[in-house]
Chains A and B, each alone.
Chain A
Amino acid sequence: AQKVTQAQTEISVVEKEDVTLDCVYETRDTTYYLFWYKQPPSGELVFLIRRNSFDEQNEISGRYSWNFQKSTSSFNFTITASQVVDSAVYFCALSEREAGSARQLTFGSGTQLTVLP
């Protein structure tokens, strides 16, 4: 069975600080996808990034960056120079493929990020 753990329940930072959200996953499959979603107070889950299990290249996109390490089963997410609008709940999620068909997303319990002005 697959599992996603986000050990940080809540994080508070002051605007312009960098912040890293941790995610550790468990899966027995060799082919899988990892995701980060953002859920602002409005409630809609917003897709941020997807990584497949064969692509360990880390990426930077604007103020966001991701660190995927298969050796430690971690997929951490960093926001550089945080802004108040980054305040939200961030979810890490895992999806396995079955016979070429996408399966359900297994979500972590989320990390509430609060960026203070």
Chain B
Amino acid sequence: EAGVVQSPRYKIIEKKQPVAFWCNPISGHNTLYWYLQNLGQGPELLIRYENEEAVDDSQLPKDRFSAERLKGVDSTLKIQPAELGDSAVYLCASSGRMVDTQYFGPGTRLTVL
């Protein structure tokens, strides 16, 4: 069974530029999560989807961050415009309907110059 797929693995951009990250969850997993991980810290939730509905986006900085999961499968997280402080690893995870275990993708390491 394929795991959570994320792309790109690495991204370097200049500040004020837009950037997008893509995630494809494990097949059949209806819950999808985006996490932010700063260096030396544990991941922190940005947004959680149940199918195509964002059920928890309270920690998403909505002035510059947006996300979508149009068909309830893959998802895109966007930052526009990027700031220096956005440099971090962006992790995607998914879980099944009645199982709370979250499985993570390899992450996208973003560097904003």
Main secondary structure of the interface of A (DSSP, over half): strand
Would you call B31 an interface residue if the criterion is a C-beta within 8 Å of the partner chain's C-beta atoms? yes
Spot the interface stretch: A55-63, A72-80, A101-109.
A101-109
Chain B positions within 8 Å of A, measured between CB atoms, are 31, 33, 40-45, 48, 50, 55-56, 89, 91, 93, 95, 100-107, 109
Known: A43-B106, A43-B109, A44-B107. A102 touches B42 (CB 8 A): no
Q: How far is the CB of B45 from chain A (nearest CB, A)?
A: 4
Contact present for B102 and A105 (CB under 8 Å): yes
Given A46-B104, A104-B48, 4 further pairs, Cβ under 8 A: A42-B106, A102-B95, A108-B42, A110-B41
> Which residues of chain A come closer than 8 Å to B107, judged between CB atoms?
43-44
